[in-house]
Amino acid sequence: MAVIAKDGYIDLVRDRVENFHGNQLVYVGWDDHLLFSAAQAFPLPPEMPFQTLVSEVMASVFNDHPDFQKIDWERAEWVLDGESFSPAMEASLKENGIGHKSLIRFKTPGLKGINGLRL
């Protein structure tokens, strides 16, 4: 069904990168762990090392899941904006190709949620 805006309607995009004071939105989702029903959004500086994203930012949210402490980060499988990628842990988000509103998904082989129930 088509939608027609009223005369005078102005589309204000509020999640433009200019509105985040030097940060960019980065979404992170953990596949097969539905305790987190959707990717989490973080306003992060583009200069942040990817390792900091993993060890501090992601840990601040995903650490509540019992599988988080069991992750073998060497075996983690990463997807950036729909494409497989291998992050350089010491490189910045920007150097890893992560931009404003990028979606990072990761899988943790051998871990499928609480007791294998994808929770």
CATH number of the domain residue 35 falls in: 3.10.20.560
Query: Domains in the chain: how many in total?
Result: 1
Is 34 a member of any domain? yes
- CA end-to-end span of the chain: 36
H helices of 41-108, in order, are 50-52, 59-62
* Most trustworthy range by pLDDT among 15-19, 65-69, 81-85, 111-115: 81-85
Is 112 a member of any domain? yes
Mean pLDDT of the chain: 91
Is 55 a member of any domain? yes
Tell me what pLDDT residue 63 has: 93
Is 5 a member of any domain? no
* Cα gap 47→68, rounded to integer Å: 25
Burial class of residue 86, CB neighbours in 10 A (0-12, 13-18, 19+): exposed
Compute the average pLDDT of residues 11-15: 80
pLDDT tens sequence across 37-75 = 899 999 999 999 999 999 999 999 999 999 999 999 999
More confident: 103 or 33: 103
Q: Which token pair is 65?
A: 């899941």
Helix H or strand E segment including 37:
none
Question: Is residue 93 over pLDDT 70?
Answer: yes
Tell me what pLDDT residue 119 has: 55
Of the candidates 56, 40, 59, 50, the one whose C-alpha atom is nearest the C-alpha of residue 93 is 50
Tell me what pLDDT residue 118 has: 66
More confident: 11 or 92: 92
- How many percent of the chain have pLDDT more than 90? 69
- How many residues are recorded in the chain? 119
Domain that holds residue 85: 22-116
Of the candidates 36, 101, 17, 26, the one whose C-alpha atom is nearest the C-alpha of residue 57 is 26
Is 99 a member of any domain? yes
How many helices (H) and strands (E) are present in the chain, helices listed first? 2, 5
